[in-house]
A and B are shown apart, each in its own frame.
Chain A
């Protein structure tokens, strides 16, 4: 069983959903993002999503755009992202790690070589924003051959007729982009999610993660109960970027502040807070 499947099976036994925090590789430098990655499982991350910086992140809002820019300015390359995961796996062989990025750097690296190297480094799944099902054959044979889950994105614009097509051959989990929009801008309404998630459930048995617009512990707790997991990205990067000095270096305590925020999100997902406001995803 893959790490992703094992993790969701375990959480199902525990009767709760997953928290998937996000970090951008080498934002603002290698050491800081490595410290974040290493600290996340203990802070309550069930799975971890690592962003692979790209110069032209078309689905991302200003917050993640800036994070990617910092990573690129620090000199991160595709191989360095894989090196991060390899280093992480020395001490953690359980927490699933998913890479999120855009196609061109992977094409440049070579799709097959990328999948071989990613699997060897300990990556569990891939989310490629600009690789829709229509073009998936560019990567799918290689991700399948190397046991990597190719995680599909479902959007509010994906209608019932299209759902089975998009989900065909998917594995790991399904990522529901809960808003029509870019990352870090707005949040989905509870009514929207209450209608959207059952619609996707009818089309797949895979766990469903909600991403885009999940910022607060309340929203994360609620999303993890309506679906099976909550992805939190821009809110964490906001905290990190607020703790950088004018030269873009992380201030002391920056990593701890982000991890504290992960702890708060994790507590809500585990139902340990008073914020049991099911359904109140957004205001």
Chain B
């Protein structure tokens, strides 16, 4: 049974956002230049029409099942559970998706929308390269030209993914402005979009950006939580006690959490990138170490200085070092529904190795942050309790970076 659970519509539901202005509480919105405003409104209209069209849903399901490879399995990590000596740990195996991460869920949804809108060129930003690879893949599948913006720093530390994108036929543009990471790639993608308004679709990779992107990307990623909910029932006959996911922009976490928002028995825990440690200021933990502001089209928690200038995020993971976070996370943080914690580079590296050796799964450095927190949380819980963790990406792309951190020459 993979039938998604129908979202509740009651007034007490936490799943009804955003409002008509694209706000989750005071977060979100549409803070873009006037040149882009009509385009954003067009995307919103097109997405709402697609959502109401059973044909679109059927097309998406077909592609998710037969191309992306959904549903992804739910795996009881038995050896890891024994090692930690506490709650049972389950992995939602989104690293088994085509292209190796949860990014495929969103890319498939948006590319079908872009085709429906008659757009003939796709642009995207990428940090670790996972979203860039997923976008380049869908573009190859549908024969659309693709340009991926990637910070020059990330181009260097994610060379395998850069090569994959090029193999897939995408043009990879290295962005040298600012600290040359994900936020700068997003700036440059927006500049491209402003200059190519008629034919180009901007395929944003996370639950950030102007409305309707945070909502749309969340909807496409919610397949993760919908499936997991059903699979947990099958495996254990009940919901988990805690669901854990890593957060950069926050799309895999939003996809896991959203279907559980109204299930108050389930603790929801987002793990931000603690970098060298929150106290060092070299981190990417927007909720733990930032304050609300406006960047990339939405109002959300941001890493910024006293004068509102955006600070550089730091993480061992190129997919997490974004100075912002999706606006729905900011809201869930402020109302207290989701707990947000952080894991450092070193903790993530340790979890990366633990997962590889106990479960035979090389995780991406991003979910290694989630796992780092799970290794702290599980031992504090009873053995009959359950933790569900989203293993949102595989770590092949990271082996070079990890080798370097471990002092191994390849």
Contacts and interface: CB of A to CB of B under 8 A. Distances in A.
B191 A182 contact: yes
Contacts of A107: 292-294, 308
B380 interface: no
Interface string A105-134: 111110000000000000000000111111
A158 B39 CA distance: 10
**A interface bracket (residues with beta carbon within 8 Å of B):** 35 or more
Interface string A62-79: 100100000010000110
B295 interface: yes
A104 B302 contact: yes
Contacts of B35: 59, 153, 155-157, 177, 180
Contacts of B29: 134-135
Nearest to B21: A134
A108 B304 contact: yes
Contacts of A283: none
B31 A103 contact: yes
Interface residues of B, number: 36
B24 to A, nearest CB: 15
Q: Quick one: which of A133, A135, A182 has the most chain B CB within 10 A? A: A135
Q: Quick one: which of A61, A132, A166 has the most chain B CB within 10 A? A: A132
A59 B302 CA distance: 20
Given A107-B293, A108-B293, A134-B30, A56 B310 contact: yes
A130 B183 contact: no
Interface string B328-372: 000000000000000000000000000000000000000000000
A208 to B, nearest CB: 14
A58 B175 CA distance: 13
Nearest to A131: B31
B30 A135 contact: yes
A153 B308 contact: no
Contacts of B295: 56, 104
Q: Quick one: which of B32, B34, B36, B184 has the most chain A CB within 10 A? A: B34
Given A132-B33, A135-B31, 13 more contacts: A55-B310, A56-B295, A58-B187, A104-B293, A130-B32, A130-B297, A153-B33, A155-B33, A157-B35, A157-B38, A158-B37, A159-B38, A182-B194
